[in-house]
Amino acid sequence: MESPTSKPFAAPLTTPSAPMSDGDSVFWGTGEAEDPFKASLDKTLAQGHAWLSFPPALEAAYQRDKAPERRRTLERGGLWLLVLFNLMLVTDWMIVPDQFALAVGLRVFFFSTINGVGLLLTDRFTPRSREWTVVGMSVLAAIITAVLCLQSHDRLAAPYLVALVMVVLFNGSVIRTPFWKALLIDAMVLGIFVVSLMLMPQPDWHIMSALMLVLVSTAVFTLYSSYWLEHEDRTNWLMQGQEHHLLEALGKANRRLERMSRFDALTDLANRRHFDEFLAQLWQRARRGGQAIALLMMDVDHFKAYNDHYGHPRGDTCLQQIAALLKRQLRRPGDLVARFGGEEFVAVLHDTALPQAVAAAERVRAGVQQLGLPHAASSTAAQVTISIGVASFQPQTCDEGPPALIAASDAALYQAKSQGRNQVVPSTACPAVAEAP
């Protein structure tokens, strides 16, 4: 039974959450390994596929992709075959009346039964077995026609072999049998025609030659059409795959550019732009909902001296370690931690009153000190420390907007630094209520 599989060109695109490595590029095909499937697709499209076949992996994907549509075509064709093959009983009765009973037995009870069972079991067949079933049923239909002609003594029995052209037309137009199998079917039908002609007593060679020309011409025309239809279908499939990969690459590039525009490359925290947009949106929601918004403004103590003493690479590592700590400590859904600039960080805490914000800030301050990053150039402590200013506003009762919240937390940070650093100072400007609503 054919198992349902996803189309190879329908893979969902996911938003990247991890920071980009230095080798990543926003341009498709650079900075990352090339997809072997795509490479095979491009190579096949460039080289052509005159033999109507792809490399194994590509061919398997093509067959999986086309299997549902092909199954529906064969199901519809099987129903038409039941009708048309049995309608030929009319011509049997007119041309080979002495074999009409045999025709009924072969067409109605034998062939139609097999065809009906095949239709009922279509879902249980693999795509490959379905196509070989088509070959078998086509040859069987041709043999039945030949048997009726060979068994009949009517003078029209030999010309009636022209009915074999129906098998060729049905495969070439109604069910669009793949070219190589259609070629096999047509060759076998022509063989059945020739063998039947040789077994017939005294056929009219003038008439039979003309009929054979009709059969051969029909086979050539339908095979020509079958070849180019399949070639075009395969080419379109390759081009759709190429388009899919281009769109996927463009989507990845756009997401990378979006991430680059919103996240700090060094710390993988939100940047100032993202912070400003986030705070403005959260402010509007909090104004409608009546929640408080807290802001933690943080500054690494004596960071310039740290850079001068240890060098900028060590300074970058220090900022990365502090950023990682902030993400661990302040990870509630709906909150945001950002790099405000240089050695300054900010954290936006939604639905958080001042006491809770101060407690969160104290955990951060203690966590940074516990990192134990040596700071020989600091006049505050032997380790890297951080100063934090905290403010909490209720947008419903404070009309000055986000800039006022930023200014209040920044003023509190300035106070913390002027009081000796390595401490948390809450702001009293335009405060929110003491407890969270």
pLDDT band of 399, cuts 50, 70, 90: confident
> Percentage of the chain surpassing pLDDT 90?
78
Average pLDDT rounded to a whole number, residues 102-120 = 94
Query: What is the spatial distance between Cα 436 and Cα 88, in angstroms, rounded to a whole number?
Result: 86
Query: Which residue segments constitute the domains of the chain, with CATH numbers given?
Result: 36-245 (no CATH), 272-426 (3.30.70.270)
**With bands split at pLDDT 50, 70 and 90, how would you rate the model's confidence at 197?**
very high
Residue pair 335/418 in contact by the 8 Å Cβ criterion: no
Q: Which pLDDT score, from 0 to 100, does residue 35 have?
A: 79
The half-sphere exposure of 435 on its side-chain side, counting CA atoms within 13 A, is 1
Higher pLDDT, residue 158 or 428: 158
Residue 9: pLDDT over 70: no
State residue 397's pLDDT score: 83
Q: Are 338 and 272 in contact (CB under 8 A)?
A: yes
Count other Cβ atoms within 10 Å, centred on residue 64: 17
In terms of phi and psi (left: phi > 0; alpha: psi -120 to 50; beta: otherwise), the region of 377 is alpha
Spatial distance between the Cα atoms of 150 and 165, rounded to a whole number of angstroms: 17
246-285 residue pLDDT tens: 999 899 988 888 888 889 999 999 999 999 999 999 999 9
In this prediction, residues 146-152 reach a mean pLDDT of 96
Q: State the pLDDT at residue 6.
A: 41
Q: Find the helix packing angle between 56-87 and 112-120, rounded to 10°.
A: 140
Rounded Cα distance between 265 and 24, Å, is 12
Residue 426, pLDDT score? 96
349/353 Cα distance (integer angstroms):
9
Catalytic residue, from 34, 232, 277, 343: name it: 343
How much of the chain exceeds pLDDT 70, in percent? 90
Q: What is the largest CA-CA distance in the chain?
A: 121
Q: Is 435 annotated in the active site? A: no
HSE-up of residue 277 (Cα within 13 Å, Cβ side): 8
Higher pLDDT, 252 or 432: 252
Average pLDDT of the chain is: 89
Give tens-digit pLDDT for 299-316. Answer: 999 999 999 999 999 999
pLDDT for the residue 318 = 97
Tokens coding 146: 């030949």
Average pLDDT over residues 288-294: 92
